[in-house]
């Protein structure tokens, strides 16, 4: 029996790859060194007993976060975003390549990004790069530099310095990425479909929704599937909102196409019918759709067609949300929710009969695998000792002012959620957001 452990967590309830169990988890040198039944004595310098109302989960991995630093640090930054993550039970996040300036589209920009992040992250951080017009020659070197994969848009991204790929550019990017077996992650909304839809304007949510029809997603996803079939490129659909696209995904998978799909807490929580006029804190692209569509997404998760749930945390300054006019056409599209993902998803998941085993698969194990973070996302020997301690029966009302991301604005404000994060552990040490940050910068595939 190991006697040289640094830490033992004794958990009457824990989620491991074997399911929900009671166990003792032994930690040595920041890694999990033992997972034993609770009655097997494990000795360590520090022993932590979880209480009967707590569950030990793997630290969550949020594979879709817009940190926006450097360049738009007044919107969000590494210190504030990773504080929010730590408070929300997220121990690793993967930063998106756009909204920061420069966008992460070549190795030099990645160096600038990593330098900006260095020594101010409270949780571990990995990076996505971008596939944009003109950077085909940079993709392989970015892959070799350890990015998790490449994000592209098929329509205007919202910022001019990150341009979309046209159909020919998309095919070239996928052929190149397939050549080194990388991963393309796609904002899948079709340009032409959205151009043909009415312009978004004014404070009525239904007008905004009509400007971003679900068929735009379905068309774009069909194009990605077609090119994945032709090029062999692994592809991932970001922030799926249209439940109507799920049959396409099912059929592609049946054909052996390597395609994964994520959705977000806001698509699983809110419904278009309930969004008040002028409430631009609910604006994101693709948009939150109707109640029936939300249930299709839940069905997609239940059957495994949707693999992961990630925040798509994309905040901005309060002014850019145009709350004064409530104009959905003029407001920035992006939802701030990083710290709330776990309670938001758990609140809705338990109401539909799902377990914390499901939630851990969607929010820890799945995103870690997708982003190539080999030692994250599970409570198993050899993995990093990253944990989230959740009180799953306790509830709270969201007070936006007490969240740690930069601006106190979120569509969850005032909402009662079930599941309180009591603490997080990063590589064997309890996370304290008032201490020095200890997060490190991760590279794909690192063991």
Using CB under 5 A, list all residues that contact Zn ion. 312
DSSP H or E stretch at residue 248: helix 246-254
Residues in the chain: 447
Residue written as token pair 């799902």? 354
Cis ω before 185 (30° cut-off from 0)? no
Q: Quote the least distance from Cβ 97 to Zn ion, whole Å.
A: 10
Task: Output 282 or 387, the one with its CB closest to Zn ion.
Answer: 282
Query: Smallest Cα–Cα separation from 369: which of 63, 27, 30, 90?
Result: 63
* Rg, Å, the chain Cα set: 21
Q: Quote the least distance from Cβ 262 to Zn ion, whole Å.
A: 10
* Cβ atoms of residues 78 and 116 within 8 Å: yes
Q: What is the DSSP string of 22-81?
A: EEEEEEETTEEEEEEETTS---EEEEEEPPTT-EEEEPEEEEEE---TTT-TTT--HHHH
With CB atoms as reference, the residue minimizing the distance to Zn ion is 312
DSSP code of residue 119? T
Task: Output 310 or 383, the one with its CB closest to Zn ion.
Answer: 310
Structure tokens at 44: 């360590």
Q: Quote the least distance from Cβ 338 to Zn ion, whole Å.
A: 12
- Residues with Cβ within 8 Å of residue 430, at least 6 apart in sequence: 423, 424
DSSP H or E stretch at residue 7: strand 5-16
- Three-state secondary structure along 212-231? CCHHHHHHHHHHHHHHHHHH
Task: Output 176 or 312, the one with its CB closest to Zn ion.
Answer: 312
Q: Quote the least distance from Cβ 380 to Zn ion, whole Å.
A: 30
Task: Output 189 or 386, the one with its CB closest to Zn ion.
Answer: 189
Task: Output 190 or 384, the one with its CB closest to Zn ion.
Answer: 190
Task: Output 315 or 428, the one with its CB closest to Zn ion.
Answer: 315
Positive or negative, the Cα torsion across 18, 21, 24, 29?
positive
DSSP code of residue 313? B
- Residues with Cβ within 8 Å of residue 432, at least 6 apart in sequence: none
Q: Quote the least distance from Cβ 94 to Zn ion, whole Å.
A: 11
Q: Quote the least distance from Cβ 188 to Zn ion, whole Å.
A: 12
Q: Quote the least distance from Cβ 69 to Zn ion, whole Å.
A: 15
- Residues with Cβ within 8 Å of residue 375, at least 6 apart in sequence: 31, 382, 383, 384, 446, 447
Q: Quote the least distance from Cβ 151 to Zn ion, whole Å.
A: 8
Task: Output 7 or 96, the one with its CB closest to Zn ion.
Answer: 96
Task: Output 27 or 60, the one with its CB closest to Zn ion.
Answer: 60
First to last CA, the chain: 25
Q: Quote the least distance from Cβ 314 to Zn ion, whole Å.
A: 5
Task: Output 83 or 151, the one with its CB closest to Zn ion.
Answer: 151
């Amino acid at each position: 029996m190991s006697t040289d452990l640094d830490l033992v967590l004794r958990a009457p309830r824990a989620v491991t790859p074997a399911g929900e169990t009671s166990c003792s988890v032994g930690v040595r040198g920041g890694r999990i060194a033992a997972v034993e039944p609770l009655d097997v004595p494990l000795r360590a310098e520090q022993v932590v007993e979880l209480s009967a109302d707590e569950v030990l989960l793997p630290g969550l991995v949020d594979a879709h976060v817009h940190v926006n630093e450097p360049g738009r640090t007044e919107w969000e930054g590494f210190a504030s975003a990773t504080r929010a993550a730590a408070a929300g039970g997220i121990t690793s996040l993967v930063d998106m390549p756009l909204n920061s300036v420069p966008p992460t589209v070549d190795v030099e920009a990645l160096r600038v990004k990593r330098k900006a992040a260095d020594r101010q992250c409270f949780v571990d951080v990995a990076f996505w790069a971008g596939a944009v017009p003109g950077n085909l020659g940079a993709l392989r070197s970015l892959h070799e530099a350890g990015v998790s994969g490449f994000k592209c848009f098929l329509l205007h991204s919202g910022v001019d310095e990150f341009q979309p790929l046209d159909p020919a550019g998309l095919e070239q990017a996928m052929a190149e990425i397939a050549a080194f077996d990388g991963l393309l992650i796609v904002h899948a909304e079709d340009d032409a479909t959205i151009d043909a839809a009415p312009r978004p304007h004014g404070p009525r949510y239904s007008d905004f929704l009509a400007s971003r029809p679900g068929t735009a997603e379905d068309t774009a996803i069909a194009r990605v599937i077609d090119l994945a079939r032709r090029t062999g490129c692994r592809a991932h659909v970001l922030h799926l909102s249209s439940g109507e696209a799920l049959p396409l995904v099912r059929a592609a998978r049946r054909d052996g196409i390597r395609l994964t799909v994520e959705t977000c807490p806001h698509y699983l929580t809110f419904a278009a019918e309930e969004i008040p006029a002028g409430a631009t804190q609910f604006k994101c692209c693709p948009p939150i759709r109707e109640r029936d569509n939300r249930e299709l997404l839940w069905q997609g998760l239940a059957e495994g067609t949707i693999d992961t749930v990630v925040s798509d945390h994309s905040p901005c300054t309060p002014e850019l949300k145009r709350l004064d006019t409530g104009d959905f056409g003029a407001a920035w599209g992006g939802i701030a929710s990083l710290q709330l993902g776990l309670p938001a998803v758990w609140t809705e998941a338990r109401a539909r009969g799902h377990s914390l085993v499901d939630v851990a698969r969607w929010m820890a194990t799945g995103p870690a695998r997708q982003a190539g973070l080999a030692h994250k996302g599970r409570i198993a020997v050899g993995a990093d000792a990253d944990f989230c301690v959740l009180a799953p029966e306790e509830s709270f009302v969201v007070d936006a002012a007490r969240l740690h991301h930069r601006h106190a604005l979120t569509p969850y404000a005032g909402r009662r959620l079930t599941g309180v994060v009591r603490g997080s552990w990063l590589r064997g040490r309890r996370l304290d957001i008032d201490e020095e940050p200890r997060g490190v910068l991760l590279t794909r595939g690192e063991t």
